[in-house]
Amino acid sequence: MPRPGFVLEVDKSTPPILFHHGESLRLERLPAGRSRVLYPGEPLDALDDVDGAIRRALDNPLGDLEPLHALLRPGMKLTIAFDDISLPLPPMRRPDVRQRVIEAVLDLAAAAGVDDVHLIAALALHRRMTESELRHAVGDRVYDAFAPQGLLYNHDAEDPDNLTFLGTTPHGEEVEISKRAAESDLLVYVNINLVSMDGGWKSTATGLSSYRSLRHHHNVQTMQQSRSFMDRHKSELHSSNWRMGEVLRSSGLQIFQIETTLNNDTFGTSGPMSVLQKREWEWNPRDRASFIAMKAGLDRMPMKARRRIFQSWKAPYGVTSVQAGEVEAVHEATTANVFAQQLVEIEGQTDILTMGLPYICPYNVNSVMNPILVMCLGLGYFFNMYRGRPLVREGGVLIMSHPTPWEFHPVHHPSYIDFFEQVLADTTDPIEIEARYEKHYAEDEWYRHLYRTSYAYHGVHPFYMWYWGSHALSHLGKVIIVGGEARSVRRLGFTPASTLNDALEMAADVVGRDATITHLHNPPIVMADVT
Amino acid sequence: MKALVFSRKPAKYAAAVLAGQLSPGRGAKVGPLALRDVDPPDLPGPRWVHVRPRLAGICGSDLATIDGTSSRWFEPIVSFPFTPGHEVVGDLDDGTRVAIVPVLSCVTRAVHPPCFACARGEINHCERLAYGDLEPGLQCGFCESTGGGWSTRMVAHEDQLVPVPDSLSDEAAVLVEPMACAVHAAAQVTASGVAVVGAGTLGLLTIAALRAARAGVEIVAAAKHPHQRTLAASLGADVVVAPGELDRTIRSRTSSMRLDNGQLTGGVDAVVDCVGSAESLAQALRIASPGGTIHVVGMPGVTAVDLTPLWQREVALRGTYAYERADFDTAMALAAELDLGRLLTASYPLRRYEDAIAHAATAGARGAVKIAFDLRSERERERR
């Protein structure tokens, strides 16, 4: 029976706490008497028979929808869209659950005589997936059967000939998605719901859409009005996607949504990484030795080698649920399963929120965690891992640990470099950034070219990263990065600190010397249910 | 009188070249520049007067001379020994405070009739720099006959004198000569978008002159040091970036594409190179648009640059040297308007010339802009 997440009150006997620090790790002692640590739950039990669960889900859809096999017929156009490289994090060991689901869907399609099938990586404005990444997601068998014929491909949000405008929501939001998907008799969406932000109408309305559509919810106003975007019912990001979903539904597009959830088994229960998943006071001598050796080894390695080691890690996640059918009904069940793993109740807000940022976020798989992504991971994702109220009070301080190098992947993040050099050098105010710079970057021909033909995130993508943190930016009194490259940290508009103690001293200027501290012990993923 | 004198001494010159390569400005320690007691220069003619310098700036061309990096092109148009210093504000014997237009044109050389350029008023194009009543010298500060500003006394033709209004400080007035260069450079630029490479004194003044000449021009400036960035913005640059960020900024602002090796397919219509190094010229060639113009304002030397983009993209490379007399008047007005005295970071007495040269040669890294000699307290200055 896995133990649920919980809140540890730090006292004098509490050992140093693990902080992820990019491609390294730190142990930090938190002040006794005023600190607490929010621990994630242990990995929920995985399904014993994932393939059986998939078949049952396809045969027993949720909501007002027939079983999948009943929706399939010869001569029909079937499109299978699936989540891209940004999910899950880290990538999961083979076979990826997308592969299992897609194979099951294709088996049914083949049995029904469906021969017009396209598979699309629903990457919106993310970078295109490489062949090896696609093979990892869908499996070699599917890749070899479809990709050579051009039937398995990356969505292209900048291909005007292959986008279809489906209408406008009552709020004036334009809905434009992949033409192939829009003109299909059935769109099957295969999702991995790593966090509660994922899935639902966001899968299609975002994943298969264009900048024309995305700009209606990927903006500062939407993000600042979401409390948080991890809580669908209080998320303006999701409200917009749900309105767009209504437009998709009204257009006659039939969608069969398949959502899956994973447990928290990020680092495994054996091997050197497993210590990262244990609670510190439960580390045995072997764990301690393993940690010391791992940290010493990492700290001596060049960054490139460290990055290669971490990026090659594939998590041994277990699949905890598969649900299929009508989008909204499916997503309600999915969200409940996500919360069952990740949600941990915690009483009251804190003055100072600390977090150790790991080496990976949704946008640097097989890539570099550049400073903008550091901001996005900390102030976007981790800060918003709450339900109810932010874990840190308004005017409070966020202390993140990450090396924050002034380094960018030149192929994946070309517009990020310009954003960092040119936009952030001018202003860090999301509203001003959006008004003055977004359109130019979004319509830049070079970025467009690289997005379409290389492996670059869309020109506008760094803006979205910045917007993702805009709620936190307006909420927080100060942001401090421990161990970060000072000039990068300053360019972000934050304060660099050499040590956690220095950071706490700096924070005291904002929130006082007796300020309460809460450490978000993430990853594995934990979401605060703040009462 | 006291004067810093630059003599033709090949061995010392070779030592300066070596020292200058090791550390910018070190040529002053070992080279042919020395502080000496010398006789004041004679008045070359009836329309000449003595000038007692108050402040005399140290220019990039002076530093190149001292460190031995100047081109041999100058050899026939300078005369040894000479006293450097062509950015000068000084006093006449009647107490009038003047800035000096240092170019030694036909009028100053008593060449009659004047050359075609001087006849048109283009004294910076004078064709008689090695002729007439004066020893060869393109400007005061490079001519044996006139002396230069790094001394307590020099001579100037009355046509070179520009009275300094009482309201203008010496510190601002000493910037008038480089400002005139910038005014002249800005007048050559007709494009609506300009990239300025380099933010030393000349770069900063060029930004100011461009802004003063045309309010609507978009100026993107590359500045290496923080204080230069602040000044560039305050003097009129719309965007200021680090030199390493300039290519990407120009690409972004001109909606150009960028090829695998980093070269742009488009670029900015005008680049003003206020450095003149191989690196700055190469950068200018990378970011100039097809059909664009590179204005070389900073003094270059013997430089190796790949001119293929110049050819393939039909880029014009245009030198910009000195000024015409009218540019000085504009510069004088701008010096007051823009409070250019703030650009004078430090001044030194002549006896500390090695420190002064070292400071000027590393000005950017040391948070400085213009370094000058301050002659106002030199005892010899008051001797007739």
B242 CB near a chain A CB, below 8 Å? yes
Query: For residue A89, what are the CA distances in angstroms to A126, A277, A303, B154?
Result: 15, 15, 20, 76
Which residues, in sequence order, are bridge partners of residue B319? Answer: B296
The dihedrals phi and psi of A124, each to the nearest 5 degrees, come to 50, -115
Confidence of residue B384 (pLDDT cuts 50, 70, 90): low
Per-residue confidence of chain A (531 residues) as pLDDT tens digits? Answer: 899 999 999 999 999 999 999 999 999 999 999 999 999 999 999 999 999 999 999 999 999 999 999 999 999 999 999 999 999 999 999 999 999 999 999 999 999 999 999 999 999 999 999 999 999 999 999 999 999 999 999 999 999 999 999 999 999 999 999 999 999 999 999 999 999 999 999 999 999 999 999 999 999 999 999 999 999 999 999 999 999 999 999 999 999 999 999 999 999 998 889 999 999 999 999 999 999 999 999 999 999 999 999 999 999 999 999 999 999 999 999 999 999 999 999 999 999 999 999 999 999 999 999 999 999 999 999 999 999 999 999 999 999 999 999 999 999 999 999 999 999 999 999 999 999 999 999 999 999 999 999 999 999 999 999 999 999 999 999 999 999 999 999 999 999 999 999 999 999 999 999 999 999 999 999 999 999
Q: Does B256 touch chain A (CB under 8 A)?
A: yes
- Any residues with CB less than 8 A from the CB of A300 and at least 6 apart, and which? none
Q: How many CA atoms lie within 13 A of B253 on its CB side?
A: 27
Mutate to test the interface with B, among A415, A444, A446 (most CBs of B within 10 A): A446
Whether the link from the prior residue into A67 is cis, omega within 30° of 0, is no
Residues of B in contact with A418 (CB under 8 A): 248-249, 251-252
Q: Shortest Cα distance from A440 to chain B (angstroms)?
A: 8
Q: What share of chain A is helix, strand, coil (3-state, %, to 5)?
A: 40, 20, 40
Q: What pLDDT sits at residue A271?
A: 87
Residue B107 has a pLDDT of 97
Smallest CA–CA distance from A446 into chain B, residue = B257
Beta strand spans in B238-337 (E): 239-241, 268-273, 288-296, 316-319
Which of A421, A441, A446 has the CB atom closest to B241's CB atom? A421
Instruction: Note the pLDDT of residue B229.
Output: 96
**Partner residue opposite A444 with nearest CB, options B241, B245, B255:** B255
Asked if B251 has any chain A CB less than 8 Å from its own CB, the reply is: yes
Which of A406, A413, A418 should one mutate to test binding to chain B, selecting the residue with the greatest count of B CBs within 10 A?
A418
Q: List CB contacts (< 8 A) between B221 and chain A.
A: none
In angstroms, the Cα distances linking A324 to A44, A235, A338 are 20, 23, 15
Which pTM was predicted? 0.89
**Residue B262 falls in which region: left (phi positive, over 0), alpha (psi -120 to 50) or beta:** left
- Residue A346 bridge partners (DSSP): A530
Beta-carbon contacts of B46 under 8 Å, excluding residues fewer than 6 positions away, are: none
DSSP H or E stretch at residue B193: strand B193-197
For residue B317, is pLDDT > 90?
A: yes
Q: Look up residue A88 and give its DSSP letter.
A: S
User: Which single residue is written with the structure tokens 């975002």?
Assistant: A206
Residue type, B383: R
Partners of residue B248 in chain A, C-beta under 8 Å = 417-418, 421-422
For residue B257, give the nearest of A440, A441, A445 by CB distance.
A445
Tell which CATH architecture fits domain A6-43+343-530: Alpha-Beta Complex (3.90)
B315 vs chain A: nearest CA distance in angstroms?
22
Asked if B248 lies within 8 A of A421 by C-beta distance, the reply is yes
Give the gap in angstroms from C-alpha A375 to the nearest C-alpha of chain B.
21
Can you tell me which residue has the tokens 């006293």?
A: B83
Q: Which of B218, B225, B241, B252 to substitute to test the interface with A, most A CBs within 10 Å?
A: B252
Q: B220: distance to nearest CA of chain A, Å?
A: 11
Residues of chain A with CATH 3.90.226.30: 6-43+343-530
Residue B256: its pLDDT value, please? 94
Burial of B50-82, coded b for 16+ CB within 10 Å and e otherwise, reads bbbbbbbbbbbbbbbbbbbbbeeebeebbbbbb
Superfamily of domain A50-262: LarA, N-terminal domain (3.40.50.11440)
| Residues of chain B neighbouring A417 (CB-CB closer than 8 A) | 248
Between chain A and chain B, how many beta carbons pairs sit less than 8 Å apart?
31
DSSP string, B20-43: HHHSTTTHHHHSSEEEEE-PPPPP
Q: Which residues in chain A touch residue B245, judged by CB atoms under 8 angstroms apart?
A: 421-422
The reply to whether residue B242 touches residue A417, judged by beta carbons under 8 angstroms, is: no
Where exactly does CATH 3.40.50.11440 map onto chain A?
A: 50-262
B249 touches chain A (CB under 8 A): yes
Minimal CA–CA distance to A395: which of A472, A467, A470, A465?
A472
User: Residue A96 in contact with residue A314, Cβ under 8 Å?
Assistant: no
Partners of A119 in the β-ladder: A80, A152
Contacts of B230 by beta carbon, 8 Å cutoff, 6+ apart: none
For tokens 């097989």, the residue is A366
Name the nearest CA neighbour of A301 among A309, A290, A291. A309
Q: What is the distance in angstroms between the Cα of B190 and the nearest Cα belonging to chain A?
A: 25
Contacts of B256 in chain A (CB under 8 A): 446
Name the residue among A422, A440, A446 with its Cβ closest to that of B249. Answer: A422
A201/A216 Cα distance (integer angstroms):
14
* Omega prior to A228 cis, within 30 of 0: yes
pLDDT for B35 = 97
Domains and CATH numbers, chain B: 2-164+349-382 (3.90.180.10), 178-319 (3.40.50.720)
Residues 6+ apart with CB under 8 A from B23: B358
Are residues B256 and A421, on separate chains, in Cβ contact within 8 Å? no
The reply to whether residue A446 touches residue B242, judged by beta carbons under 8 angstroms, is: no
Q: Tell me: the pLDDT tens digits for B353-381?
A: 999 999 999 999 999 999 999 999 998 77
Chain B residues in contact with A421 by the CB 8 A cut-off are 241-242, 245, 248-249
The tokens for A498 are 């050499």
Q: Which of B241, B242, B258 sits opposite A446 (nearest CB)?
A: B258
**What is the distance, to the nearest Å, from the Cα of residue B306 to the centroid of all Cα atoms in its chain?**
26
| Buried/exposed B331-362: b ≥16 CB within 10 Å, e otherwise | bbbbbbebebbebbbbbbebeebbebbbbbbe
B261 CB within 8 Å of a chain A CB: no
Interchain contact A422–B (C-beta under 8 A): yes
How many CB atoms are located within 10 Å of the residue B304 CB?
8
pLDDT band at B115 (very low <50, low <70, confident <90, very high): very high
Establish if A425 touches chain B: CB-CB under 8 angstroms: yes
Interface touch B241/A425, C-beta < 8 Å: yes
Average pLDDT of chain B to the nearest whole number: 95
A417 interfacial to chain B (CB closer than 8 Å): yes
For B262, which residue in chain A has the nearest alpha carbon?
A410
CA distance A238 to chain B (A): 32
Q: In the structure encoding, which two tokens stand for residue B295, read together?
A: 């204005």
Query: Contact B256/A446, CB-based, under 8 Å?
Result: yes
First to last CA, chain A: 26
Quote the tokens at residue A270: 């054996």
pLDDT at A107: 98
Contact B252 A417 (CB under 8 A): no
B248 touches chain A (CB under 8 A): yes
Measured distance CA(B82)–CA(B138) in Å, rounded? 12
Rounded-to-integer distance, Cα A523 and Cα A99, Å = 25
What the block records as the tokens of B352 is 């500390």
Inform me whether the C-beta atom of residue B304 falls under 8 Å from chain A C-beta atoms. no
Instruction: Render pLDDT for B275-293 as a digit per residue (tens, 0 to 9).
Output: 999 999 999 999 999 999 9
* Reported ipTM exceeds the 0.90 cut: no
- Both structure tokens of B268: 């900015």
Segment 441-460 of chain A within 8 Å of chain B by CB = 441, 444-446, 449
| H or E stretch at A212 | helix A211-214
Minimal CA–CA distance to A525: which of A101, A123, A87, A124? A87
Question: Which residue bears the tokens 């970036």?
Answer: B241
Please indicate if any CB of chain A lies within 8 Å of the CB of B226: no
- Provide the chain A residues 174-213 that lie in CB contact (below 8 A) with chain B: none
